[in-house]
Structure 1
Amino acid sequence: MIVDGKNLADWQGEELIFLICQPRSGSTLLQRMLGEHADILVLPEPWVMLHPLYARRREGIETEYDHSLALMALDDYLRRIDTDGDALFDEAVKAWAWCHYRAALADSGKTLFLDKTPRYYFIAEDLQRLFPRARFIYLLRNPLAVLRSLLNTWIQGNWVVFSNFHHDLVTAPGKLLAAAARGESRRCLLHYESLVAEPEATLKRLCDELALEFQPGMLRYRGSEKLAGGFGDPVTVDAHDRPVGDYAEQWRDLAGDPQRRHIAHAYLDALGDPLLQQLGYDPEALRAALGKPPRIRGDIIPWERLIDPGFTGIQPKRSKLRLAWRVLRGRPLPQQDGC
């Protein structure tokens, strides 16, 4: 397939850098720093590769038009029009990517585009296959720090939405490690804690592993209109102009609240000690810092309920007592809208 004189069958993504991680892992900080490189263009999270690659996924996607039927029809269509329908679809996806990334780089004066989309952990294997000459950065962070940031930023005590982030918490770490260990692509696995503690040494290693020129200007970053208002974490990042270690140990305050301490212990259990060690963290030290798990009482919502997509919250104790009193007295229950 030829697009703008480019043979997409031969295009291997040389102009692309993918930054993949758990959400709330510090990727906005790293993006800001890489954005100071003379050759790298950064924009807010594009998310452009998820939709085309999920078109042929059998799970993980729901649509109004019935995705399962669409998938069967698409597979049948590809078989009928080409002896290698998979390769044809891959070329079409690469054409989609080429049009988007080419448009981003046009007139920018840059030669490389950084696509920072944390949830690409779902499609990292596909991206490696489609773009074997792209550069991949896998950013890891202490899982408890990720959890704390998520609780403070997106959940804020609204436990009904907790299950929305189950994949970000539990699925992502294993997928990141698997992707970082796979393929022949230019790739770098680094830790947020190293980035803020030793930014120069960490960036030099990153540049060396990705065949990039290290530029000292990356150690300090500026605000950018191109990044304003987009996805990411502009609050803490824009409060500084360089990496700081102020946030690296804040996860320890999870121990101060019984509900959060319960979630933190359950989260570590869900990940398991082998995975935590592969991520580069000491499970025993993490648990010791949290203290003893709290006893599950009526005011603590168990992890199993929180990760259940059907969880709708808990009624206040007073409401429960009032309903029980009505039942005991033989009084009718109050009517609710929609019942």
Structure 2
Amino acid sequence: MPNIRNVDEPIILLGNGRSGTTLMTGVFNKYLGLQSIGETTNLIFGVFRSIECSIPYCGNPAYHDETVRDIAVEKVRQLMVDLFPSDEKLWFQKPIMLPQIKTTFSSESEFFSWYWDTLYKIFPRAKVIFILRNPVDVLNSYQKRWNWPVEGAAKDHMRLNKLLLHPKANVTYGFRFEDLMDDPQAVLSSLCNNLDIPFQESMLSAFRENHAPNPKCDTQEVDKQKIISQEYMSILDSVCERYLLNKYEV
């Protein structure tokens, strides 16, 4: 986990819930010399946004927009160091899905631009990776896990995929859950190569464990014709094209 020397240099995993992010946390947990923490989305972006929006109204005229953002960067980094101290050389986090503060922006495009600006301002040396999974499998798993309506989840998943297409997105590596399960060593070796870290055999031991299993319950399969729109698939196809991944057929 972070320390004062490497807090601005994490490995960052993006993705939707139920897409294999917990498995990947387990993979990095097995990596010697690396500490991993879980879902940091609201911790990072929520604290930053609260400082950014609150300080200008606290009565100190010395604070202008860029000064406030610099303060927010400092506080978020210090919070990570204080909450998750470690002397390991490498660290990993997964700010998956979209932060709750997305609703404080006037438009989706404004939020997307802010998201990438903020992420790289806090973590300028970060290496960002992402994982995709067949949307039907993701939403079926989501429904089995929480038994909640999936319409809202589908919209959020589509927004995250759009985020990956934003011009400011600077992503080191993207991969598919299905490819990871078919050939873990090949995908992880390629991933490590792109992260400029050596592949370790110990990473493969994570696949012998059960990660975030769904409860045994009876739920209806997702109506993919109703839930997964043409727009959703068009955006997903564009993500696959941009990052040279095989497209999904649903």
TM interval, shorter chain, is: 0.7 to 0.9
Q: Do residues 37 (structure 1) and 23 (structure 2) align? A: no
Q: Which blocks of at least 5 consecutive residues in structure 2 are unaligned?
A: 103-114, 241-245
- Counterpart among 47, 62, 82 of residue 81 in structure 1: 62
Task: Report the CA distance between 1:97 and its aligned residue.
Answer: 2.5
Residue 138 of structure 1 aligns to a residue whose secondary structure is: strand
The structure 1 residue matched to 2:91, chosen from 106, 113, 116, is 113
Structure 1 residues 205-220: aligned runs within 5 Å: 205-220=190-205
Q: Deviation digits for residues 28-53 of structure 1, max 9, x if unmatched?
A: 00110111111211233234203123
Contact kept in structure 1, 2:18 and 2:142, CA below 8 Å: yes
Residues in 2 aligned to 1:165 and 1:173: alpha-carbon distance in whole angstroms: 12
Quote the Cα distance in structure 2 between the aligned partners of 1:171 and 1:207: 27
- 1:94 equivalent to 2:79? Answer no
Compare CA radii of gyration and give the structure with the larger one. 1
Write the deviation string for residues 203-258 of structure 1: whole angstroms up to 9, x where unpaired: 1111111122211111113999xxxxxxx95336xxxxxxxxxxxxxxxxx9xx5x
The RMSD of aligned alpha carbons is: 3.4
Counterpart contact for 2:77–2:122, Cα < 8 Å: no
Letter in 2 for 1:81: A
Give SS of 1:277's match: helix
For 1:141, the equivalent position in structure 2 comes to 133
Q: Which residue number in structure 2 is paired with residue 275 of structure 1?
A: 235
What's 1:52 paired with?
47
TM-fit CA distance, 1:27: 0.3
Where structure 1 has 5 or more consecutive residues not aligned to the other structure, the ranges are 58-70, 225-231, 237-253, 287-339
| Cα gap change, 1:43 to 1:217, in 2 (>3 Å) | same
Match for 2:236: what amino acid? L
- Deviation of residue 77 (structure 1)? 5.0
Take 2:60 and 2:151, find their aligned partners in 1: how far apart are those partners?
38
Q: Matched residues, percent identical?
A: 19
Secondary structure in 2 matching 1:37: coil
Q: Is the 8 A contact 2:47 2:76 kept in 1?
A: no
What is the rounded CA distance, in whole Å, between the counterparts of 2:226 and 2:190 in structure 1?
A: 34
* Matched residue type, 1:110: E
Q: Is the 8 A contact 1:27 1:116 kept in 2?
A: yes
Distance across 2 between alignment mates of 1:274 and 1:163: 17
Whole-angstrom CA distance in 2 between matches of 1:271 and 1:125: 26
Contact 1:101 1:113 in 2 (8 A): no
**CA deviation map 1:159-210 (0-9, x unaligned):** 4xx45535433322211343xx6355x6221111111111111111111111
Structure 2 residue corresponding to 1:191, chosen from 176, 185, 190? 176
Relative contact order, CA 8 A, sep 6+: which one is greater? 2
TM-score using structure 1 length: 0.56
